[in-house]
Structure 1
Amino acid sequence: MGALASDISRTPLLSAVLAEAAHRDPGRVAVGTPSGATNYRQLAEIAGRVQSAIVQLGVRHGDRVAIIGAPVTEHTIAAIHGVLAAGAIWVPIDPGSPPARWASIVAMADPAAVVAYAGALDLFTAVAPNIPAVVIDKPAKKLLDEVPATGKRIWLGDIGPAELRPHGGDQADIAYILPTSGTTGVPKGVALSHQAGLAFADWMVSQFAVSADDVVAAHAPLHFDMSVFSLFGTARAGASIVPVPLQLSSFPAELADWIANQRISVWFSVPYPLIRLARLGVDGLLQVRNTLRTVLFGGEVFAHEQLAVLMRALPDTQFANLFGPTETNACTAEVLTEIPSEPVPIGRATAGAHCWVEDHQGRVLTADGSVGELVVAGPTVASGYWGQMEAGAGGFRVGPELWAGRGFATGDWVEIYSGRRFLYRGRRDHMVKINGQRLELGEVESVIAELREVRGCCVLPLGGHEDPRLGAVIASEALGEEDIREHCRARLPRWAVPARIVLVEELPLGSTGKLDRLAAATLFT
Structure 2
Amino acid sequence: MTVDIIKAIDAVATKTPNAVAYNYLGQTNTYAELKQDSDALANYIDGLNLATGSPIMVYGDQTFAMIATFLACVKSGHAYIPVDQHSPNERLLMIQEIAQPQLVIAVKTLPVELPETDILDAAQLQTVFQQASPYQLTHAVKNDDNFYIIFTSGTTGQPKGVQISHQNLISFVDWMVTDFDLPQRPISLAQAPYSFDLSVMDLYPTLVMGGELQVLPKKVTDNFKTLFATLPSLALNVWVSTPSLIDIILLEPSFKQDKYPELTHFIFCGEELTHQTAAELNRRFPAAQVFNTYGPTEATVAVTAVKITPAILNDYQRLPIGYAKADTTIQLDQVNAENQVGELIISGPSVSRGYLNSPEKTAQVFSTASQRAYRSGDLATIDATGLIFYKGRTDFQIKLNGYRIELEEVNHYLNQQDLIKQAVAVPKYNRQHKVTALLAYVVLKTSDDRPAFEVTKQLKQQLQQEMMAYMIPQRFVYRSALPLTVNGKVDIKALIKEANAND
- Give the TM-score of the pair, scaled to structure 1: 0.86
Q: Which amino acid aligns with 1:228?
A: V
Q: Which amino acid aligns with 1:372?
A: G
Say which is worse superposed, 386-395 or 228-237, in terms of deviation: 386-395
Distance 1:194 1:158, change over 3 A: closer
Q: Which amino acid aligns with 1:410?
A: S
Mapped contact 1:12–1:195 kept (Cα < 8 A): no
Task: Report SS of the residue matched to 1:216.
Answer: strand
Task: Report SS of the residue matched to 1:384.
Answer: coil
Task: Report SS of the residue matched to 1:274.
Answer: helix
Distance 1:204 1:476 in 2: 50
Show the counterpart of 2:395: 429
Q: CA deviation at 1:386?
A: 0.6
Show the counterpart of 1:475: 443
Show the counterpart of 1:38: 29
Q: Which amino acid aligns with 2:121?
A: V
Show the counterpart of 1:106: 96
Q: Across the two proteins, how many residue pairs are aligned to each other?
A: 486
Task: Report SS of the residue matched to 2:297.
Answer: coil
Distance 1:253 1:453 in 2: 37
Distance 1:134 1:230, change over 3 A: farther
Show the counterpart of 1:115: 105
What do the CA deviations read for 1:301-360 (whole angstroms, capped 9, x no partner)?
12211221121010000000010111112111111121624111001101521101111x
Once the two structures are superposed, the pairs formed by residues 13-32 of structure 1 within 5 Å of their partners are 13-32=4-23
Task: Report SS of the residue matched to 1:217.
Answer: strand
Mapped contact 2:235–2:260 kept (Cα < 8 A): no
Show the counterpart of 2:452: none
Q: Which amino acid aligns with 2:391?
A: R
Q: CA deviation at 1:511?
A: 2.0
Show the counterpart of 1:135: 121
What do the CA deviations read for 1:131-176 (whole angstroms, capped 9, x no partner)?
222233x4xxxxxxxxxxxxxx655357511223333454111111
**1:172 and 2:144 aligned:** yes
Show the counterpart of 1:149: none
Once the two structures are superposed, the pairs formed by residues 184-195 of structure 1 within 5 Å of their partners are 184-195=156-167
Q: CA deviation at 1:470?
A: 1.4
Distance 1:289 1:158, change over 3 A: closer
1:266 to 227, 238, 244: 238
Show the counterpart of 2:85: 95
Distance 1:107 1:183 in 2: 17
Q: Which amino acid aligns with 1:121?
A: T
Q: Which amino acid aligns with 2:463?
A: C
Distance 1:157 1:87, change over 3 A: closer
Q: Which amino acid aligns with 1:182?
A: G
Distance 2:361 2:94 in 1: 24
Task: Report SS of the residue matched to 2:445.
Answer: coil
Once the two structures are superposed, the pairs formed by residues 51-70 of structure 1 within 5 Å of their partners are 51-70=42-61
**1:77 and 2:45 aligned:** no
Q: CA deviation at 1:299?
A: 0.7
Mapped contact 1:60–1:86 kept (Cα < 8 A): no
Distance 1:198 1:439, change over 3 A: same
Distance 2:46 2:265 in 1: 40
Task: Report SS of the residue matched to 1:68.
Answer: strand
Task: Report SS of the residue matched to 1:481.
Answer: helix
Show the counterpart of 1:196: 168
Say which is worse superposed, 39-48 or 444-453, in terms of deviation: 444-453
Distance 1:316 1:355, change over 3 A: same
Unaligned runs of 5+ in 1: 1-9, 139-152
Q: CA deviation at 1:237?
A: 0.9
Once the two structures are superposed, the pairs formed by residues 67-466 of structure 1 within 5 Å of their partners are 67-70=58-61, 72-117=62-107, 120-123=108-111, 126-136=112-122, 138=123, 155-157=126-128, 159-166=130-137, 167-249=139-221, 255=227, 258-281=230-253, 283-329=254-300, 330-338=302-310, 340-341=313-314, 342-350=317-325, 352-359=327-334, 370-389=340-359, 393-400=363-370, 405-451=371-417, 454-462=420-428, 464=430
Distance 1:390 1:87 in 2: 27
Mapped contact 2:74–2:140 kept (Cα < 8 A): no
Q: CA deviation at 1:262?
A: 2.8
What do the CA deviations read for 1:427-476 (whole angstroms, capped 9, x no partner)?
11010112211111111111122235544321111254677221111232
Distance 1:132 1:392, change over 3 A: closer
Task: Report SS of the residue matched to 1:385.
Answer: coil
Distance 1:178 1:380, change over 3 A: same
Unaligned runs of 5+ in 2: 449-454
Show the counterpart of 1:146: none
Distance 2:362 2:103 in 1: 30
Say which is worse superposed, 466-475 or 83-92, in terms of deviation: 466-475
What do the CA deviations read for 1:76-106 (whole angstroms, capped 9, x no partner)?
1111111111101110112111101111111
Mapped contact 2:238–2:263 kept (Cα < 8 A): yes
Distance 1:254 1:295 in 2: 22
Show the counterpart of 1:141: none
Show the counterpart of 1:5: none
Q: CA deviation at 1:418?
A: 4.7
Show the counterpart of 1:510: 485
Q: Which amino acid aligns with 1:417?
A: D
Distance 1:46 1:155 in 2: 9
Mapped contact 2:75–2:141 kept (Cα < 8 A): no
Q: CA deviation at 1:73?
A: 2.0
Mapped contact 1:368–1:418 kept (Cα < 8 A): no
Distance 1:213 1:16, change over 3 A: closer
Mapped contact 2:37–2:129 kept (Cα < 8 A): no
Distance 1:349 1:523, change over 3 A: closer
- Give the TM-score of the pair, scaled to structure 2: 0.89
Q: Which amino acid aligns with 1:424?
A: Y
Distance 1:179 1:30 in 2: 26
Q: Which amino acid aligns with 1:425?
A: K
What do the CA deviations read for 1:39-80 (whole angstroms, capped 9, x no partner)?
21111001112212333344343111111231x222111111
Say which is worse superposed, 463-472 or 512-521, in terms of deviation: 463-472
Distance 1:258 1:485, change over 3 A: closer
Distance 1:280 1:484, change over 3 A: closer
Q: Which amino acid aligns with 2:286?
A: P
